[in-house]
Amino acid sequence: MPDSSVAITAGTGTAIDTITAPNGDHRQIVIVGDRGGYRGRAATFRTPGRAGTAGQNIFSIHNATGSSVVVDVHKITVDFVCTVVKAVTILPPVVRLHKVTVLPTNGTAGTKVAKDTGDAATSASVTVLQDASADGTSSASTLTATLPAGTFVTQEFAARLITAVGFEAGDRIEFLDGSPVTLRPLEGIVVRLDYVLATQNPITDMWLVTCLWEEYLP
């Protein structure tokens, strides 16, 4: 529900919930809750790799300039599967989270799913994009983002299939779990695959991204 307030008359000893310690002291009971805003989730389609040399942006979440809300991104997960082996001499892409200040463009709009339909409505200022228009179909125009140098929030190497009977561990990467990143107006996060060889991320590689966030009034 949206934020609300409770009137307290000063000096009258307004009651609060407590428990009594063995020494007779009262200890206040605090119930931890959210900020009363929108709590959202978004998941991408199964996104094919793009066999180029300049990397690939596969997901973004952005809080527009002039936005009335602040966004806490609580968790981003990246999952991966492939059907074509990579030589052991070929590095997998580095999966990186970039913090950006320019609104990403192109790609395909993602669908925001409320954690609780009783929450406040999501802000139109918060947008999510992906680089697939359907499962296994790349967006007609690749997701584009301006990435300031060195703005990595966190990163990890992707998994890779080295042989038909051997898989390098690292599947289902979890970022930001328990350590949210705050997006103020004109800030966003882009999930990017960094690589320089077409063989590092062929179209037979498939990616999934899921994002959990919260919007609230500052």
Q: Is there a domain that residue 113 lies in? A: yes
Please give the single-letter amino acid code of residue 81.
V
pTM score above 0.75: yes
| Model confidence band, residue 28 (pLDDT cutoffs 50, 70, 90) | confident
Domain span holding position 150: 37-216
d(CA 73, CA 214): 7
Q: Is there a domain that residue 3 lies in? A: no
Residue 57 per-residue DSSP state: E
Q: Is there a domain that residue 27 lies in? A: no
- Between 12 and 129, whose confidence is greater? 129
| Model confidence band, residue 1 (pLDDT cutoffs 50, 70, 90) | very low
Q: Is there a domain that residue 24 lies in? A: no
pLDDT at 117 over 50: yes
Q: Is there a domain that residue 133 lies in? A: yes
Q: Convert the pLDDT of each residue in 49-75 to its tens digit.
A: 999 999 999 999 999 999 999 999 999
Q: How many domains does the chain have?
A: 1
Q: Is there a domain that residue 31 lies in? A: no
Q: Is there a domain that residue 68 lies in? A: yes
- Between 21 and 112, whose confidence is greater? 112
Q: Convert the pLDDT of each residue in 82-106 to its tens digit.
A: 888 888 899 999 999 999 999 999 9
Q: 153 to each of 60, 105, 150, 156, 194, how far by Cα in Å?
A: 13, 20, 9, 11, 14
Q: Are 47 and 58 in contact (CB under 8 A)?
A: yes
pLDDT at 200 over 50: yes
Using the Cα atoms of residue 138, residue 46, residue 92 and residue 167 in order, give the sign of their dihedral.
negative
| Model confidence band, residue 113 (pLDDT cutoffs 50, 70, 90) | very high
Least confident stretch, 47-51, 120-124, 133-137, 160-164: 160-164
Q: Is there a domain that residue 179 lies in? A: yes
